[in-house]
Chains A and B, each alone.
Chain A
């Protein structure tokens, strides 16, 4: 099973990359689960044509009890992708990190993987590895690889460096390892050089180069991913290429 967590600076395009990657995997015939781990709960919206799934935390808040069926907290989106959102506490209250851990425990209790039998699980995680909760997706049994989404912007690279360092801190534990960087271009001057310089220094590979494209915005406005809207456009091809790369690596690992 391919299990990957995507991290990156807030607003850098993690959800866009994750849902396009999910769509790309499903286009290649794989069964995918995408779990949004952000209190904003907007990771999977473009796989669901704008009709969002009830986040786990919202379900618990409304019903004052845990769900007892996967269907109560999931929706099937484009290409059969099973979409789940952890959601979070009331803004300004509670603990969002703890919400992620609670959701993961619940998904285990509901035997999500045994029920859905996915080939791929993608975790779309908020910003940085800021606390134990936000490190939960990279713990043993969850993601095995981390992809860091970054542009050539200074703060995006700063966040990428923090994430890489945080994951390295867990080298003694059986946590996920950073697989590489998804360069999500933002039309920054000398963007490729800047990202490449960081990648070289950190010893990381740029595994995908996503062009700045109006297609992404066009199809997101229509409530879908670029891969769904136009699988033959350059952006979609890059995501499908990345999915193929990760599939072949998974086969080699097996």
Chain B
């Protein structure tokens, strides 16, 4: 029974990743699933739900629709809703049932686009993967659809992979402030605090900053299509964020010296502090703990991560039993992770809670803190 989570929860699903990534962009996001599932996707996993409007719809798929293959009903409902709501674009994504019946998102998206005249994006989620997969595809497709070549902004930065599933609300402002402090110009924070117009201007940036794995596919695309290099890191702490800013400035000056990873992840394989979480975030926090506090820490990625992290960091473990066994075997003195991980951490280990919305949802939302360009000594004293 591999990959069964008996004690800890699983991360938000790929469908939630799509909804979160597209929430602020003015599109009509349609999840092909049974009625009522909107609350699972957009209220449990969406902290903006009560304060910010967004056109997140559920198709209200029924058993008969599935059995009979009533694609026409889905198509006409979406076209009708689009005529009422007049969205900037339409995004389709799915759940386990359409996956089982072989629903063809690409063909249906093409039909909807033909009938509605509105750009329609097919996103191939099935509710079986983590939010990283959904957010990653959504952000990449939206960049493909809207980013344009533009006049270069010398110190222009796009921030990729910024969603509330990984970052506290207000993180977009923290990153903008940090960029401004170090004389960068923020072009787009994808996808918190930005609009489709910001996305259209993304081609003008000199550098992409990837703050979570959700932004990696878009960064790879922009490297290939726009020749914009990228760096993977979150500006946590004061000294690490300063170091990161310096690395970004040198990369802009010398883009041929392209090195996307600035984390000293492979520096402390024997570290007795383990940071559990999303790869780039956990790696950046480990880097910040060293830069700011001279604490040796190593990240443990519990979500799909770039091979850099799986090869050089503490590793990638996604199954509860593997994570539990790793912690038992390595007996770290300190574990930094979402509070719900506490139940599989050995008893004699010091545990520092760092709530992660994609893991524990609203349970510990009030305890979430932004560590972006902040003095982290207080938090981890």
Interface residues of A (CB under 8 A from B): 95, 97-98, 101, 131-133, 135-136, 139-140, 170, 172-175
Q: Flag whether B102 is at the interface (Cβ < 8 A).
A: yes
Point out the residues of chain B lying under 8 angstroms from A97, CB to CB.
102
B111 close to A101 (CB less than 8 A): no
Closest A residue to B102 by beta carbon equals A132
Judge whether B107 and A132 touch: CB under 8 Å. Answer: no
Name the distance in Å between B107's Cβ and chain A's nearest Cβ. 4
Tell me the count of chain B residues lying within 8 A, CB to CB, of chain A.
Answer: 11
A172 touches B69 (CB 8 A): no
Across the A-B interface, the 9 shortest Cβ-Cβ residue pairs: A132-B102, A173-B107, A101-B102, A133-B102, A132-B101, A172-B111, A98-B100, A139-B104, A136-B102
Minimal beta-carbon separation of B110 from chain A (angstroms): 7
Give min CB distance, A129 to chain B, whole Å.
11
| CB atoms of B111 and A173 under 8 A apart | yes
Q: Which residue of B lies closest to A136 (CB)?
A: B102
- Report B76 CB to chain A, min CB distance, Å: 13
Chain B contact residues, majority secondary structure: helix
- With A98-B100, A173-B104, A173-B107 known, 17 other A-B pairs at CB within 8 A are A97-B102, A98-B102, A131-B101, A131-B102, A132-B102, A132-B104, A135-B104, A136-B102, A139-B104, A139-B106, A139-B107, A140-B106, A140-B107, A170-B107, A172-B111, A173-B110, A173-B111
Closest chain B residue, CB of each to CB of A65: B2
Q: CB-CB < 8 A to B111: which residues of A?
A: 172-173
B40 CB within 8 Å of chain A? no
Residues of B within 8 A of A173 (CB): 104, 107, 110-111
Contact of B69 among A95, A131, A140 (CB under 8 A): A131
- Least Cβ distance of A136 to chain B in Å? 6
B97-138 vs A, CB cutoff 8 Å, 1 = contact: the mask equals 000111110110011001000000000000000000000000
Give every chain B residue within 8 A of A174 (Cβ-Cβ). 107, 110
Q: What is the bound-complex CA distance between A101 and B104, given in angstroms?
A: 11
Task: Please name 9 pairs of A and B residues whose Cβ atoms are closer than 8 Å in the assembled complex, sorted by A.
Answer: A97-B102, A98-B102, A132-B69, A132-B104, A136-B102, A139-B104, A170-B107, A172-B110, A172-B111
**Which B residues are in CB contact (< 8 Å) with A133?**
102
Closest-by-CB residue of B relative to A98 is B100
A101 to B106, CA, bound (A): 14
Given the complex of chains A and B, what is the CA–CA distance between A132 and B101 in angstroms? 6
Residue of A nearest to B106 (CB): A140
Measured CA separation A108–B114 after assembly (Å): 28
The residues of A that contact B104 with a CB separation of less than 8 Å are: 132, 135, 139, 173
Q: Give every chain A residue within 8 A of B114 (Cβ-Cβ).
A: 172
| B47 vs chain A, min Cβ distance (A) | 33
Closest to A173 in B: B107
Residue among A95, A97, A98, A172 facing the most chain B CB atoms (10 A cut-off): A172
A interface footprint on B208-241 (CB within 8 Å = 1, 0 otherwise): 0000000000000000000000000000000000
Given A131-B69, A132-B69; A175-B101 close (CB under 8 Å): no
Among B64-110, those with CB < 8 Å from A are 69, 100-104, 106-107, 110
B102 contact set on A, CB distance < 8 A:
97-98, 101, 131-133, 135-136
Write the nearest CB–CB distance from B156 to chain A, whole angstroms: 36
- Which residue on chain A has the smallest CB distance to residue B101? A132
